[in-house]
Amino acid sequence: MHAHGPDLWPLIGVGVLVAGFMVRLNPLAVVVAAAFSSGLAAGLAPLQVLAALGKAFNDNRYVSLIWLVTPVVGVLERAGLRDRAREAVARFRGPGGGAMTVGQLLLSYFMVRQVTAALGLTALGGQAQMVRPLIAPMAEAAGDAMADPRLTPDQRDLVRAHAAATDNVAVFFGEDIFIAFGSVLLIRGVLAGGGHEVSPLAISVWALPTAALALLIHGARLLALDRRLRRGGR
């Protein structure tokens, strides 16, 4: 009697996600299509897939708290938060004693964000509450000090994009180090479903080299950004 391997058809949703994002379709439509693809491939009826989507949204409805953060950030910016952030970065000094560059500033934030995420403190940063009101303006101020005379609109967009990416990459590769984080438990559950019993501690330990590589790779990208800005490139 032949043993059958695991059914991999439910993973078709991953392919739908990748293909949808590659051709730049609407993210919400892509996620829903991926969910239905995986659900139907797993043998669920369309209404069961829809019910699972509704339950997941209801269980995670706290994501709507972002709409409470947005007006608070707006009030702080109106009171001069971005201006104070720009003034603060002018006082920072890099390793050589000169003004801190964009890459050095974002790399410093990357390390702080990754360490706090590894301790389970993922809420200490974020696009709405940290990058938009503080990190991006500080990075722009550092860029203005490097450019002659100031950053162009394209360069400014580039700096903002790197500020946003810094937060995303740091927390993504840092949170798996925290033993009780949901992603660690998800990885353990998936491996256990395939017959591989792995402890959360082992997953956290093996997340360390990945986090270190993320720091090295993204750090190199940030230092390359400094070189681009000095050359006046976009």
Q: What confidence tens digit (pLDDT) does each residue in 136-193 have?
A: 888 988 888 887 778 899 999 999 999 999 999 999 999 888 887 777 777 888 788 8
Q: Which of 59, 74, 93 is the last residue of a domain?
A: 59
Mean pLDDT of 97-101: 74
| Residues 108 and 53 grouped into a single domain | no
**Do residue 52 and residue 79 come from a single domain?**
no
Q: Name the domain count of the chain.
A: 2
- Residue where one domain finishes, among candidates 59, 79, 101: 59
The reply to whether 155 and 202 lie within a common domain is yes
> Are 42 and 134 in a shared domain?
no
What's the pLDDT tens digit per position in 113-141?
999 999 888 888 888 788 888 898 889 88
Residues 95 and 54 in one domain: no
* 52 and 85 belong to one structural domain: no
Highest-pLDDT range among 7-16, 46-55, 169-178: 169-178
Same structural domain, 160 and 47: no
Mean pLDDT of 55-84: 64
Q: Helix H segments across the chain?
A: 12-22, 27-41, 46-59, 66-78, 81-91, 102-118, 136-146, 153-174, 182-193, 200-230
Q: Do 34 and 147 fall into the same domain? A: no
* Structure letter (DSSP) for residue 99: B
Same domain, 72 and 110: yes
Domain residues for the domain of 13 are: 1-59
* Residue where a domain terminates, one of 19, 43, 59: 59
